[in-house]
Chain A
Amino acid sequence: MKIDIRRLFRPGLVVVLIYILLLVGPVAGFNLPTIWESIRSSPKLLVQYLIIGLANGSITAIIALGYTMVYGIIELINFAHGDVYMIGVFTALTTISVTGTINSTNPTQIILGMALALVAAIVVCALLNTFIERVAYRRLRNSPRLAPLISAIGMSFIVENIGLIWAGQSWLVPSFGTTGGGAQKYFPDLLSALMKAWGHDINLLANTGIGLRFTVKDLMVIALAGILMIGLRLFIQRTTLGKAMRATSQNRDAARMLGIDIDRVISLTFLIGGGLAGAAGLMSGLYNGNAWWFMGFRAGLDAFTAAVLGGIGNITGAMLGGMLIGLLASFSDGYLNSGYTHAWVFAILVLVLVFRPTGLLGEQTGEKA
């Protein structure tokens, strides 16, 4: 029986809950007078947080696309997806390091190095994600739901460990240094170097006198996320393969009867999702300037939250959810308490799942899970 949780929350209870939030919220940084005061004293900072939030949200959104596609087609939370993204960051960093782009000041070399890193990250992540599907999920497709979920968690641990080992190989990537595999690694700020080589400032608003930072990096990340989302939407709506994917997600057995090769369609979904994660990996490395073996866990959970928030299975929803989560994280870092950002994101996830499991844009009704 579906328990209608909303029935339990009568208006009186809602008032009590709001009071508790106001009372206990300041512990986690939710202190309305302080927030109001800091917004009033410098409204520009609000715009700055908005820009940072949108840029980070774009990265989250690209990862969320992979989650939402996979969940849409085989109803599996691909736990390893966030870690595939982490492998993307390390692939890009290794490519940049091995090709000698890392300390280059030559614009042509920087552009070529970044292009090569993008291709390498996309290819490695796409193949890795397809491999994971083949090894860990395919044979469990008709098992009870618990089995593939646990297999996915196992795969996530395996990929994380590969990242940990990778980050320790300083003979391969000299810039990893001697801090060991567990430490955060520096990702070179190539876009700044490129703009400097061309004689421009990285900040697009530097000469306008507004006093805000809107950098080439922000522009690139947001634009790329938009392009990828529109491209993916067109692919799914307009092409034959996209149609096959939609058919498979609606009813696998019927799709098989109509001659669609289910295994191939699912592999393709993982391939595309992995490629997107790889692209997000390079973006995130260039934007945030670091690489860490454990970054995939947090990013993956954020992205999954984004996918659920937007309505799982919905491409536009994943984009919207990613932006919202990015904004929430940015405002929490800025106005609440950065120590609790993780908890706030999760609180949103719990609230969405409890009160609106279909998400903001989700059309499918009822129990997916």
Chain B
Amino acid sequence: MNNQLRIAVILGIAGGLITFLFGGWSVSITGLLVGITIGLTTRGLHKVEGFRKSSLQILPSALSGAGALLVVSLIQNYWISPAIGTKPGNLNFTIESNLIACIALIAIAMILQGLNGLPANQARKWRLVTLGILVVAYPFIDSAANLGWTSQLIFALIFVILGLGLNIVVGYAGLLDLGYAAFFAIGAYTAGMLNSPLHDIHINFWIVIWIAAAIAAIAGILLGSPTLGLSGDYLAIVTLGFGEIVPVLFQNLKQVTLNEPFTCWIIPGIQKLFGSTSTVSCVTLFNNPNLTGAALGITPIGRPWFPFIGQLPTADLNSVHYSLSLGNKIYFYIGEFHSENPTPWYFLILAIILFTIFFASRLRDSRLGRAWMAIREDELAAAQMGIDPVRTKLLAFSMGATFSGFAGAFYGAYIRGIFPSVFDFSTSIIILCCVILGGIGNINGVLVGGLVITTADRLFLPALKDFLGNLLNTTILPALSSHPILQAAIAQNANPILWRPFLFGLTLVIMMAIRPEGLIPSAQRRQELHAAEDTPNVVGSSATKK
């Protein structure tokens, strides 16, 4: 119980610290998030029957968590705000936002803990329903609170899809792929080339996304086939190589001329050797088209639109909205797919994620999924048991790549443009980070890992940069005016965006050192990764020198 209280207070303080960065209404959202976390991490409590009794169990923790959040949030409002040069919110606003935060925290924590009192299958069902309602309601809460986090959350969800795809290759089949961004690039470029003015081809987004996934799957087989004989470090290096070659190709395919070699120079060359003049005319397949837009990328890429619901797009984009309407009544207003309106994009990516999770979990439990795990554990034994390693590995590569095809097509349409520099090695590593931080081989783990890493990258680092910048300009730098060099050095280097690779690297090193199985590992992985510690002499040496 004490342990639970301590966790709640720590979470409350952590949530409060987030409000340091964002201020305003962010406290209400963090209250909600802290509530969910407290409600989901109550495994230590002993089980009590019944919803009400069970939910009352967590009341002390939830109250103390809310108290901690409130204290830190008020510190933010009255001490930190002046220090970073913003005005503290007025009393009405402060009371309102903090009250909503505390109520949301306590209510959601109690609901989630209360569900533990129900029979297991019901508890699972209702937990999913509760979280589902929150996920669906999120963009509306966000726009009501005027935070603007949704558009960044969409990036996080793109990386979640990529992480789920990579998880199939790395987590299930145990093939370390350091070039996964190549498939992301292939998906994005397929979608871009088929739905943009570059080649004047405009295929509907809803068709392109499937083509992109199919092309990515084929690319997975093509790039996977040379690596079949390799494992471990060598496999990692070859996939890294492909991951580097693919963006180089996209960057350079601007003037592509393909001449059939026999007719163009081999036969004429031989004829010349024997002194006769050339009689064969040269067959040219391509003559200088700009295939991929080279370093400039492809832009603009067409956006999706609903063919049946709402109206067709007209010249005046602002007057057209898509909504699920029957007759004159609008039931579910989400607006149209537009840069300024993240809501429909959010629901689209949510749908793709649900689809991905469904397929990934069905694949994991299928015959193929078990074959992947058998290959991962011991390829030789698996082959002796009648599993075809070639087919199984190729399927892992192509299934993993399929999801990155979806993500790529969505990404291109959402950004409206794709550039070769987006798909470099660091993107592959960020995706790998999502999988490793969350827990290799575990779908929930990859969800959490992807959300944590990408929101930290896209949301918290820029906010931290602004926060530090304001703090420095308002409070610290004036105090240092007698040391101009120190002042300049601090002003230049206290920029968290500049330290982004450092933070990524540090995350990887620390995770490997203290918790190599990730935040939410699959049970099997945890055993494997800690086996070496239990019996260092036997397992350790055989595992490292396989």
| Interfacial residues, chain A to chain B (CB-CB below 8 A) | 1-5, 19, 22-24, 26-28, 32-33, 75-77, 135-136, 139-151, 153-162, 164-165, 168-169, 171, 181, 252-253, 297, 301, 304, 308, 337, 339-340, 342-343, 346-347, 349-350, 353-354, 357, 367-369
A154-B504, A154-B505 known; A3-B429 Cβ under 8 A? no
With both chains docked as a complex, state the minimum distance between the C-beta of A329 and any C-beta of chain B, in angstroms.
14
The stretch among B24-32, B57-65, B91-99, B241-249 that forms the contact with chain A is B241-249
A149-B176, A150-B512, A161-B501 known; A339-B238 Cβ under 8 A? no
A33-B265, A347-B245, A369-B231 known; A154-B543 Cβ under 8 A? no
The residues of A that contact B241 with a CB separation of less than 8 Å are: 346-347, 349-350
Contact between A136 and B236, CB atoms less than 8 A apart: no
The residues of B that contact A23 with a CB separation of less than 8 Å are: 258, 260-261
Contact between B379 and A353, CB atoms less than 8 A apart: no
The stretch among B188-196, B345-353, B492-500 that forms the contact with chain A is B492-500
With both chains docked as a complex, state the minimum distance between the C-beta of B545 and any C-beta of chain A, in angstroms.
8
Contact between A253 and B238, CB atoms less than 8 A apart: no
Contact between A154 and B245, CB atoms less than 8 A apart: no
The A/B interface has a contact count, at CB < 8 Å, of 188
Interface membership of B234, Cβ < 8 A:
yes
The residues of B that contact A139 with a CB separation of less than 8 Å are: 513
With both chains docked as a complex, state the minimum distance between the C-beta of B524 and any C-beta of chain A, in angstroms.
13
With both chains docked as a complex, state the minimum distance between the C-beta of B525 and any C-beta of chain A, in angstroms.
10
Contact between B509 and A346, CB atoms less than 8 A apart: no
Instruction: Please tell me which one of the listed residues A27, A165, A343 contacts residue B258 in the complex, with CB atoms under 8 A apart.
Output: A27
28 of the cross-chain contacts (CB-CB < 8 Å) are A1-B383, A1-B389, A2-B229, A3-B228, A3-B229, A19-B261, A27-B253, A28-B249, A32-B265, A136-B512, A136-B513, A142-B536, A142-B544, A143-B516, A144-B544, A149-B236, A150-B432, A158-B506, A158-B509, A164-B501, A165-B498, A304-B237, A349-B237, A350-B242, A353-B230, A353-B238, A354-B230, A369-B235
CA distance A19 to B264 in the complex (A): 13
Contact between B389 and A169, CB atoms less than 8 A apart: no
Q: Which residue of B has the minimal Cβ distance to A6? A: B229
Instruction: Please tell me which one of the listed residues A4, A154, A168, A347 contacts residue B506 in the complex, with CB atoms under 8 A apart.
Output: A154
Q: Which residue of A has the minimal Cβ distance to B235? A: A369
Instruction: Please tell me which one of the listed residues A157, A252, A339, A354 contacts residue B226 in the complex, with CB atoms under 8 A apart.
Output: A354
CA distance A22 to B425 in the complex (A): 29
- Total number of B residues with any Cβ neighbor in A under 8 Å: 72
Q: Which residue of A has the minimal Cβ distance to B375? A: A1
A1-B389, A145-B544, A171-B489 known; A154-B508 Cβ under 8 A? yes
Instruction: Please tell me which one of the listed residues B249, B256, B379 contacts residue A343 in the complex, with CB atoms under 8 A apart.
Output: B249
Contact between A339 and B251, CB atoms less than 8 A apart: yes
The residues of A that contact B260 with a CB separation of less than 8 Å are: 23
Interface membership of B257, Cβ < 8 A:
yes
Interface membership of B390, Cβ < 8 A:
yes
With both chains docked as a complex, state the minimum distance between the C-beta of B297 and any C-beta of chain A, in angstroms.
16
With both chains docked as a complex, state the minimum distance between the C-beta of A306 and any C-beta of chain B, in angstroms.
13
A169-B489, A340-B252 known; A369-B541 Cβ under 8 A? no
Q: Which of B472-509 contact A (CB under 8 A)?
A: 485, 488-489, 492-493, 498-502, 504-509
A153-B429, A161-B502 known; A343-B248 Cβ under 8 A? yes
| Interfacial residues, chain B to chain A (CB-CB below 8 A) | 176, 178, 226-238, 240-242, 244-245, 248-249, 251-253, 256-261, 265, 269, 379-380, 383, 389-390, 425-426, 429, 432, 436, 485, 488-489, 492-493, 498-502, 504-509, 512-513, 516, 528-529, 532, 536, 540-541, 543-546
With both chains docked as a complex, state the minimum distance between the C-beta of B233 and any C-beta of chain A, in angstroms.
5
CA distance A150 to B177 in the complex (A): 11
The 10 closest A-B pairs by CB, nearest first: A154-B508, A157-B505, A142-B540, A161-B502, A158-B505, A369-B232, A369-B234, A346-B241, A1-B383, A22-B261
Instruction: Please tell me which one of the listed residues A77, A140, A343 contacts residue B513 in the complex, with CB atoms under 8 A apart.
Output: A140
Instruction: Please tell me which one of the listed residues B379, B501, B516, B546 contacts residue A158 in the complex, with CB atoms under 8 A apart.
Output: B501
Contact between A157 and B502, CB atoms less than 8 A apart: yes
Q: Which residue of A has the minimal Cβ distance to B531? A: A144
With both chains docked as a complex, state the minimum distance between the C-beta of B97 and any C-beta of chain A, in angstroms.
37
Contact between B541 and A142, CB atoms less than 8 A apart: yes
With both chains docked as a complex, state the minimum distance between the C-beta of A350 and any C-beta of chain B, in angstroms.
5
Q: Which residue of A has the minimal Cβ distance to B429? A: A153
With both chains docked as a complex, state the minimum distance between the C-beta of B478 and any C-beta of chain A, in angstroms.
20
The residues of B that contact A153 with a CB separation of less than 8 Å are: 178, 429, 432, 505, 508
Q: Which residue of A has the minimal Cβ distance to B379? A: A1
With both chains docked as a complex, state the minimum distance between the C-beta of B529 and any C-beta of chain A, in angstroms.
6
Contact between B228 and A140, CB atoms less than 8 A apart: no
The residues of B that contact A4 with a CB separation of less than 8 Å are: 229
Instruction: Please tell me which one of the listed residues A75, A158, A337 contacts residue B544 in the complex, with CB atoms under 8 A apart.
Output: A75
With both chains docked as a complex, state the minimum distance between the C-beta of A279 and any C-beta of chain B, in angstroms.
25
The residues of A that contact B383 with a CB separation of less than 8 Å are: 1
Contact between B176 and A3, CB atoms less than 8 A apart: no
Contact between A165 and B244, CB atoms less than 8 A apart: no
CA distance A132 to B351 in the complex (A): 43
Q: Which residue of A has the minimal Cβ distance to B178? A: A153
The residues of A that contact B504 with a CB separation of less than 8 Å are: 154, 157
User: Which of A141, A146, A169 is the most central at the interface, judged by chain B CB atoms within 10 Å of its CB?
Assistant: A146
CA distance A26 to B240 in the complex (A): 24
The residues of B that contact A253 with a CB separation of less than 8 Å are: 541
Instruction: Please tell me which one of the listed residues A136, A168, A252, A349 contacts residue B509 in the complex, with CB atoms under 8 A apart.
Output: A136
A140-B513, A143-B532, A369-B235 known; A168-B508 Cβ under 8 A? no
Contact between B499 and A161, CB atoms less than 8 A apart: yes
Q: Which residue of A has the minimal Cβ distance to B248? A: A343
